[in-house]
Amino acid sequence: EDKVVQSPLSLVVHEGDTVTLNCSYEVTNFRSLLWYKQEKKAPTFLFMLTSSGIEKKSGRLSSILDKKEPFSILNITATQTGDSAIYLCAVVGNTGKLIFGQGTTLQVKP
Amino acid sequence: EPEVTQTPSHQVTQMGQEVILRCVPISNHLYFYWYRQILGQKVEFLVSFYNNEISEKSEIFDDQFSVERPDGSNFTLKIRSTKLEDSAMYFCASSFDYEQYFGPGTRLTVT
């Protein structure tokens, strides 16, 4: 059965800290891995990763994929209170549907 | 920036009633999805839709559920006879390729 596992499940840091969120998966016919940020409601798209070793970057956020292990990490540097959210990792399998992990709840304290 | 929209934002219904959740996907997208998230749990896939037919459905998507794209812009999820366990946040998503964009969700409360 296809599975996506995120760690840690929750994390509390202070503003300015750097965090690393992890996502491992077992999926037949992997197509790509996506990261989302979920605040109050809908997951908002952050990154899509398809190839190993190529870092995607947007401001203070970056992500990389290792298809051999397989896992992905999401890094957030110089965290701000506005980064507080649930971060979701999802993998696209053979049929296009997303298989989600349980999410990492990040709380950034001032 | 184009976005997926959903209505209503919150729907309260009695057990056994029918509900229709509505979504307007991003206009040039080809693939449409419904997911749900029960409070405190993972986001779960319900159904995918492409070229006016269901391409895949999960075990959750039983005969009580149906989807339709009635007019080329709306995409609807119907639950024929709601149960208490259908209470959840329902998200519509659309994509052109693998990047799926989510709507704000409809919170369905079945009493």
Tens of pLDDT, residues B64-74: 999 999 887 89
State yes or no: pLDDT of A59 exceeds 90.
yes
Query: pLDDT digits over A77-87, tens only?
Result: 999 999 999 99
**Quick one: pLDDT at residue A18?**
98
What chain B residue is nearest to A43 in terms of C-alpha separation? Answer: B102
Is 90 exceeded by the pLDDT of residue A6?
Answer: yes
Pick from B21, B24, B45 the residue to mutate for testing the A interface (most A CBs within 10 Å): B45
At B22 the three-state DSSP class reads strand
Whether the predicted pLDDT of B22 surpasses 90: yes
- Distance (Å) from the alpha carbon of A102 to chain B's nearest alpha carbon: 5
pLDDT of amino acid A28: 86
In degrees, to the nearest 5, what angle opens at C-alpha B98 toward C-alphas B6 and B104?
20
Nearest-CA distance from A76 to chain B in Å? 21
Pairing, β A3-7 against β A56-58: unpaired
Residue with the bigger pLDDT between B98 and B75: it is B75
Q: Are A9 and A107 in contact (CB under 8 A)?
A: no
**What whole-number distance in Å separates Cα of residue B29 and Cα of residue B78?**
21
Q: How far apart are CA B20 and CA B67, in angstroms?
A: 9
